Chains A and B, each alone.
Chain A
Amino acid sequence: MIFSLAVYSAPYSSQASYSAYQFALALLNQGHSLHRIFFYQDGVHNATNLAAPPQDEFNLQQSWQALAKQHNLDLVVCIAAGLRRGILDSGEANRYDKHSHNIAEEFTISGLGQLIEATVASDRLISFGN
Chain B
Amino acid sequence: MQKKILLISRRAPYGNSTAREALDTALAASVYDQDISVLFMDDGVFQLLKNQHSQLIDQKNIASTIPALPLYGIENIYVHQNSMDERAISIEELVLDEIKMLNDDDVKHLLNQQDHLLSF
> Interface of A with B (CB < 8 Å)?
6, 8, 40-41, 80-81, 111-113, 115-117, 119-120, 125, 127, 130
B-chain residues with CB within 8 Å of residue A41 when the two chains form the complex = 17-18, 21
CB < 8 Å neighbour of A117 from B21, B25, B32, B118: B32
Q: Can you identify 6 A-B contacts, CB atoms within 8 angstroms?
A: A112-B24, A113-B29, A116-B5, A117-B32, A119-B5, A119-B116
Let me know if B3 and A120 touch, CB within 8 A. yes
Number of A-B contacts (CB under 8 A): 41
Size category, B interface: 10 to 19
B65 at the interface (CB under 8 A from A): no
> Interface of B with A (CB < 8 Å)?
3, 5, 17-18, 21, 24-25, 28-29, 31-32, 34, 116, 118-120
CB < 8 Å neighbour of A130 from B3, B31, B120: B120
| New A-B pairs, 16, CB < 8 Å, besides A41-B18, A112-B24 | A40-B21, A41-B17, A112-B28, A113-B29, A115-B118, A116-B5, A116-B28, A116-B32, A116-B34, A119-B3, A119-B5, A120-B5, A120-B32, A120-B34, A127-B119, A130-B18
